[in-house]
Amino acid sequence: MAILVDRALEDEDEDDTGRSWRGRVSARQRRETAVGWAFMLPDAIGLMIFVVLPIIVALAVAFFSIDGFGQARFVGLDNFVRMGSDPLLVNSLAVTLIYAGCYVPLVFVAGLALALLVQRPFPGIGIVRTLFFLPNVMSLVVIAILWQFMLTDKTGFVPRGLSTVGLGDISWLGNPTYALAAIIMISVWFQAGYQMLLFLGGLGDIPNEYHDAAKLDGAGWWQRLFWITLPLLKPTSFFIAVTSIIGAVTGMQAFDLVFVLTKGGPANSTMTMPFYIYQQAFSYNDYGYAAALTTLLVGVLVLAVGVTFAATKGARFHAE
Amino acid sequence: MLSDIATPGPAARGRTRRERDGSHEYGRRWGWRAGVGYALAAITALPILWLLITALKPASETFSMSLGPWTLDNFSYVLTRIPMPRYLLNSAIVSIAVTFIALVFHSMAAYALARLRFRGSALMFNLIVATLMVSLPVILVPLFLIVRAMGLIDNLWGIIVPGIFNAFGIFLLRQNFLGIPRELEEAATIDGCGYWGRYWHVVLPLGRPILVSLGILFFLANWNAFMWPKTILSTQELWMVQQGLASMQGQYGSDWNYITAAAMIIALPTMIMFFFGQRALVNSIKTSGLK
C-alpha cells in the first residue's frame, strides 16, 4: 500500500496546479472543476454512502446497543468493557493470529517458489502456470465444498490416500488439533497461484545483466537468490506481505472457508474473528458488540501492517 | 496459456531473443524444473479433477476410487429438482449489472482524476487510496444497517448498488489512463471534442484492454461472492449461486454426487471466463498497484 500512496503523492507533486487555486481562478478552471465533479459524482456519492459512511457508522455503533428491530440505546463503553470478560473473543483473536501467522509466511514462500520454478520456460509451461492459478478463479464456497468432500472422514480421497501410510484415521475437520491446520493449507492452496503471478511480475523487472554479472563472479543459485533476487524483489514482497495480512485478518477467506467447512468448530478451534463478528451480528443480533469487535479487529490489522512496515522500512532500503 | 504473458520486462525479452538464436531453447537443466512443475501442477489440479469425476459418477460410486461409470444424472437433478437455474439467473443479473455500471462510473471518475484539474481532485484521490484496504468484513455490520435503512434488504438491488462502488477499480483505471498520451486528446480538442467527447472517443477506446480486464475481475468477484448475499437475502427465489450451493450442505448433507455436480455447474462460468480471458485477467492482476 505504501508503494501506492507514495506514487500517488509523487503524481500530485508533478502537476503542481494546486497552488494556482489560491490565485485568480479563471473561467476555464471553474468550468473544469464543474466538469470534473460531474464525472466524479456517481462514484463520489456511492463511495461516501457505501464505504466512508459505514466506517463512520461502525465507530458510532460500537457505543450503542442495537436490537434486531433497530432500536438503538447509547451504552457508552459497555461493548468494550464486555470484551474484557469474553473468553470466546480471546479464543477467536488467538485463532486469527495463528491463522495469519501461519498463512502469510506459507503463502509467501509457496508463491515465490512457484514463481521461481516457472519463471523460465520449459515445455508445457503455459499449462503448468494456468493450473497453478486455476484454484483462484473458483469461489471460496466451491473450494470449501471441494475440500470438505476430499477430507471426508475415512472414506474421503485424502484419508484413503493417507491410509496407505497408516494415517487414514485422522479426522481433518473434526479434530480441534487439525481443523485450523487444514483451513490454513486450503487457503495456501487457493492463493499460492495468485501470489505466483505477482512475484512473476516482480521477477520480470529484474535485469538479466545482474545475474549474468554475478555468475561471472562465480555466484551459485542460492547466492544469487539472496543477494540479487530477494533484495530487488522487495517492493513486490512488501506488497504481497501486506495484502496477504489483510486477506488473512479481514478478508473473505477467513469467513467463507470457515462458514462452509467448520462453522467455527470443532470446539471453536477455527472461530476466526470475522466469523465470530458475523455470529454476534447475525446470529445474536448484537450489532453494537459486533461493531466494537470490528474496531478491535481493525486495530489488530493496522498493528500487523504497521509492524510489517516498520520491519521492512516500507520496502525501501534496497534503494539506499 | 500463461506462457507468453507471465514473463514480461526487458530482461525476459532479452532472453527470448537469445533463445530464438537457437543455442538453448529452455536454458540449461530445464529437465528437473519441468519435472517438479508437472508434479506440483498435477497435485494442484487433482482435487478439482476429482470433483468433476465425482460429479459424473452415480451416487453408489461417490466414495469409491473408481473413475467411472459416467452419467449426467447428477447434473440434470441439480438443474431440475433444485432451483439452480434461478440461482444462476440471479447471479448472472447481479454480476452483469454490477460489472457494467461499475465500468461506466469508474471510467468516468478515473478520467476526471487522471486528466482534469479541479478543486477537490487530490482529496478524492487520497480518499480512494485510503479506502483500498477496506474489505467487506470490516464494514459488514454498518453496511447492513445502512442498506436495511434504505429498504434494500432481501432485494437484489441491495446486492447490486453497494457492489458497484469499489476504490480498487477507480484506482487501477486512473493509473492506466495517466499513460494515455495527452497529444491524442489535444488532437480531439482541435477536432471539436469537449470533455465528454474526449472521454468517449479517446480515453474509452484506448482504455479498452484495462476495461476488459477489470470487467472480468468484477464479474468473477460478484459471481463468487458469498458473505454479502448470505447476509441480506433470505427469500430463496432471490438467492445467488454461492448461497444456493452452501445451503445444499444442510439439505443434501451426504448426497455428495449432487453437491459436487452443483459445485461444478457454479464453477464452470468462472473457469470458462478464465480460459478465454486469461491474458486480460493476468495483466490486470499484475498491474494492480505495482506498476
Each domain of chain A, given as residue ranges in start order, spans 85-319
Q: Are residues B86 and B224 located together in one domain of the fold?
A: yes
Higher per-residue pLDDT: B285 or A252: A252
Higher per-residue pLDDT: A22 or B36: B36
Q: Encode A157-195: b = buried (16+ Cβ within 10 Å), e = exposed.
A: bbbbeeeeeeebebbbbeeeebbbbbbbbbbbbbbbbbb
The 8-class DSSP code of residue B154 comes to T
Q: Predicted confidence band at B5 (pLDDT cuts at 50, 70, 90)?
A: very low
| Cβ neighbours of residue B176 closer than 8 Å, sequence gap 6 or more | B110, B207, B210, B287
Query: Are residues B289 and A49, on separate chains, in Cβ contact within 8 Å?
Result: no
Query: Are residues B122 and A43, on separate chains, in Cβ contact within 8 Å?
Result: no
Q: Are residues B105 and B9 located together in one domain of the fold?
A: no
B258 touches chain A (CB under 8 A): no
Burial class (CB in 10 A: 0-12, 13-18, 19+), B73: middle
How far apart are alpha carbons A260 and B67 in whole angstroms? 27
Higher per-residue pLDDT: B161 or A23: B161
Is the separation of the CB atoms in A43 and B106 below 8 Å?
Answer: yes
How far apart are alpha carbons A294 and A80 in whole angstroms? 11
What is the count of structural domains for chain B? Answer: 2
Is the separation of the CB atoms in B84 and B263 below 8 Å?
Answer: no
Q: How does strand A64-66 pair with strand A72-74?
A: antiparallel
Query: Are residues B165 and A43, on separate chains, in Cβ contact within 8 Å?
Result: yes
SS3 B96: helix
B35: domain range? 2-56
Selected residues 280-299 of chain A with any CB under 8 Å from a CB in chain B: 281-282, 287, 290-291, 294, 297-298
Note the pLDDT of residue A2.
Answer: 38
A65: left (phi over 0), alpha (psi -120 to 50) or beta: beta
Is the separation of the CB atoms in A297 and A273 below 8 Å?
Answer: yes
Is the separation of the CB atoms in B73 and B226 below 8 Å?
Answer: no
User: Which of A35, A44, A290 is the closest to B116 by Cβ?
Assistant: A35
Q: How far is A77 from chain B (nearest CA, A)?
A: 18
Within 8 A of B164 by CB-CB distance, chain A residues are 46
A40 touches chain B (CB under 8 A): yes
A18 touches chain B (CB under 8 A): yes
B272 touches chain A (CB under 8 A): no
DSSP letters spanning B189-220: HHTT--HHHHIIIIIHHHTHHHHHHHHHHHHH
Is the separation of the CB atoms in A134 and A193 below 8 Å?
Answer: yes
Question: How distant is the alpha carbon of residue B270 from its chain centre?
Answer: 8
A199 touches chain B (CB under 8 A): no
Note the pLDDT of residue A18.
Answer: 46
Note the pLDDT of residue A166.
Answer: 82
Asked if residue A318 has pLDDT above 70, the reply is no
Q: Are residues B10 and B136 located together in one domain of the fold?
A: no
Higher per-residue pLDDT: A302 or B11: A302
Asked if residue A207 has pLDDT above 90, the reply is no
Higher per-residue pLDDT: A107 or B178: A107
| Cβ neighbours of residue B217 closer than 8 Å, sequence gap 6 or more | B281, B284, B285
User: Which of B11, B42, B227 is the closest to A204 by Cβ?
Assistant: B11
Q: Which of A38-47, A248-257, B107-116, B273-282 is predicted least confidently?
A: B273-282
Note the pLDDT of residue B12.
Answer: 43
Is the separation of the CB atoms in A40 and A58 below 8 Å?
Answer: no
| Residue of chain B whose alpha carbon sits nearest to that of A273 | B137
Element (H, E) at A72: strand A72-74
**What percentage of chain A carries pLDDT values higher than 70?**
89
Which sign, positive or negative, has the C-alpha torsion A32, A35, A39, A42? positive
Q: How far is CA B257 from CA B18, B83, B134, B218, B253, in A?
A: 51, 17, 38, 30, 11
Within 8 A of B112 by CB-CB distance, chain A residues are 35-37, 39-40
Q: How far is A141 from chain B (nearest CA, A)?
A: 6
Is the separation of the CB atoms in B62 and B256 below 8 Å?
Answer: yes
Q: How far is B290 from chain A (nearest CA, A)?
A: 7
Tell me, what amino acid is at B229?
A: P
Q: Dump pLDDT digits (tens) for A144-178.
A: 999 999 998 888 888 888 888 888 788 888 889 89
Q: What is the mean pLDDT of chain A?
A: 85
| Cβ neighbours of residue A312 closer than 8 Å, sequence gap 6 or more | A234, A237, A238, A241
Q: How far is CA B192 from CA A28, B110, B112, B187, B272, in A?
A: 16, 22, 19, 9, 42
Radius of gyration of chain A (CA): 24
Q: Are residues B51 and B164 located together in one domain of the fold?
A: no
Note the pLDDT of residue A317.
Answer: 44
Residue A279: CB atoms within 10 Å: 18
Higher per-residue pLDDT: A90 or B64: A90
Higher per-residue pLDDT: A300 or A27: A300
Selected residues 42-101 of chain A with any CB under 8 Å from a CB in chain B: 42-44, 46-47, 49-58, 61, 66, 70
Length in residues, chain B: 291
Q: Predicted confidence band at A27 (pLDDT cuts at 50, 70, 90)?
A: confident
H helical segments located in B116-135: 121-130
Report yes or no on B62 lying in a domain.
Answer: no
SS3 B238: helix
Note the pLDDT of residue A120.
Answer: 85
Best of B118, B136, B150, B278 to substitute, by most chain A Cβ atoms within 10 angstroms, is B118
Nine cell digits for residue A237: 514482497
Q: Dump pLDDT digits (tens) for A58-112.
A: 888 888 888 767 678 888 888 898 888 899 999 999 999 999 999 999 999 999 9
Query: Are residues B27 and A294, on separate chains, in Cβ contact within 8 Å?
Result: no
Report yes or no on B69 lying in a domain.
Answer: no
Asked if residue A22 has pLDDT above 80, the reply is no
Report yes or no on B102 lying in a domain.
Answer: yes
Note the pLDDT of residue B10.
Answer: 41
Q: Dump pLDDT digits (tens) for B252-265.
A: 777 899 999 999 99
Query: Are residues B11 and A124, on separate chains, in Cβ contact within 8 Å?
Result: no
Q: How far is A54 from chain B (nearest CA, A)?
A: 5
Q: Are residues B162 and B280 located together in one domain of the fold?
A: yes
Note the pLDDT of residue B61.
Answer: 84
Q: Predicted confidence band at B27 (pLDDT cuts at 50, 70, 90)?
A: low
Query: Are residues B135 and A250, on separate chains, in Cβ contact within 8 Å?
Result: yes
Global ipTM = 0.86
B193 touches chain A (CB under 8 A): no
Note the pLDDT of residue A201.
Answer: 86
How far apart are alpha carbons B286 and A296 in whole angstroms? 32
Asked if residue B35 has pLDDT above 50, the reply is yes
Mean pLDDT of A259-276: 92
Query: Are residues A32 and B249, on separate chains, in Cβ contact within 8 Å?
Result: no
Q: Dump pLDDT digits (tens) for B88-136.
A: 999 999 999 999 999 999 999 999 999 888 888 888 898 888 888 888 9
Asked if residue A316 has pLDDT above 60, the reply is no
User: Which of A35, A200, A298 is the closest to B6 by Cβ?
Assistant: A200
User: Which of B15, B227, B260 is the closest to A255 by Cβ?
Assistant: B227
Is the separation of the CB atoms in B170 and B218 below 8 Å?
Answer: no
| Residue of chain A whose alpha carbon sits nearest to that of B29 | A122
Q: How far is CA A119 from CA A131, A160, A201, in A?
A: 15, 35, 10
SS3 A66: strand
Asked if residue B9 has pLDDT above 90, the reply is no
Q: Which of A187-196, B16-25, B66-75, B87-96 is predicted least confidently?
A: B16-25
Query: Residue B181: phi, psi to the nearest 5?
Result: -60, 130
CATH number assigned to the domain comprising residue B162: 1.10.3720.10
Report yes or no on B10 lying in a domain.
Answer: yes
Mean pLDDT of A214-237: 88
Mean pLDDT of A3-30: 51
Nine cell digits for residue A159: 484419508
Domain A85-319 sits in CATH at 1.10.3720.10
Q: Which of A30-39, A183-192, A288-297, B274-283 is predicted least confidently?
A: B274-283
Q: Are residues B173 and B267 located together in one domain of the fold?
A: yes
| Residue of chain B whose alpha carbon sits nearest to that of A235 | B290
Q: Are residues B133 and B86 located together in one domain of the fold?
A: yes
Asked if residue A1 has pLDDT above 50, the reply is no
Mean pLDDT of B147-157: 93
Asked if residue B289 has pLDDT above 50, the reply is no
A132 touches chain B (CB under 8 A): yes
How far apart are alpha carbons A134 and A243 in whole angstroms? 20
Asked if residue A308 has pLDDT above 50, the reply is yes
Tell me, what amino acid is at B214?
A: L
